[in-house]
Structure 1
Amino acid sequence: MVKKLKWQSLEHRSHTARLTMMYTIQHGLVDIPLSKYTQPARTHCATEHLAAGRRGHPLQLMVQRSRLQAYKHSFFISTIEHWNKLTAQTIYAPSIEAFKQCLERDSTALYGCDYNVS
């Protein structure tokens, strides 16, 4: 039915929704205080990765570990790992629509497979 309706898979739609929500939080488009739930990654800087042509961006967040399954699957814990893999071009997209277009372009690199339904 998914192919017949030309929908994306549920997994793909879930990733897109989570990353879009993180985009709105990071860019202050919603009133959710990011600092209450996570903090910036402590790397010697994503700018070095950018200069070297590797993935990375200045808005990377600290990956938190959890022993509890309920917390492990919470929004921030499950989204940060994917957020940190995005390119600077994607996270600095000028609008939510542009951000979603960048996600579609990068879906193969980010998730290891192409979610586009033929």
Structure 2
Amino acid sequence: MLYKIINDLVDIPANQYLIQAPSCPKDQNRKYHQSSTFTSYHKNSFFPHTISVWNHLPATVAEAPDLVSFKQGLSSLTF
């Protein structure tokens, strides 16, 4: 779902929920700022939890050109 939000494939405005983190040349360009969470309820909610996972994806997956490529890249990863 986060891939779809970032790439405007769903009607959820990314700029209301995501703040892009400064990029590092060796890292993926699509990392997002993780807000501080004080409760496990908030920490495990969609955006904080998903951003944490997203930021650890390899660039080839996070920057996939389309949804099919993204899903194929995810299927090759082990979590």
TM-score (norm 1): 0.60
- 3-state DSSP of counterpart to 1:106: coil
> 2:13 maps to what in 1?
33
More helix per residue: 1 or 2?
Answer: 1
* Larger relative contact order (Cα-Cα within 8 Å, sequence gap ≥ 6): 1
Aligned residues: 79
Moved over 3 A (4+): none
Residues in 2 aligned to 1:62 and 1:92: alpha-carbon distance in whole angstroms = 17
- 3-state DSSP of counterpart to 1:97: helix
Q: Using the TM superposition, give the Cα deviation of residue 30 of structure 1 relative to its aligned residue in structure 2, in angstroms.
A: 0.6
Task: Provide the identity percentage.
Answer: 33
**Which residue identity is paired with 1:96?**
L
- 3-state DSSP of counterpart to 1:100: helix
1:93-118 CA distance string (max 9 Å, x none)? 232222111011122xxx2xxxxxxx
Give structure 1 stretches of 5+ with no counterpart.
Answer: 1-20, 50-55, 112-118
**Which residue identity is paired with 2:6?**
Q
Q: CA RMSD in A?
A: 1.4
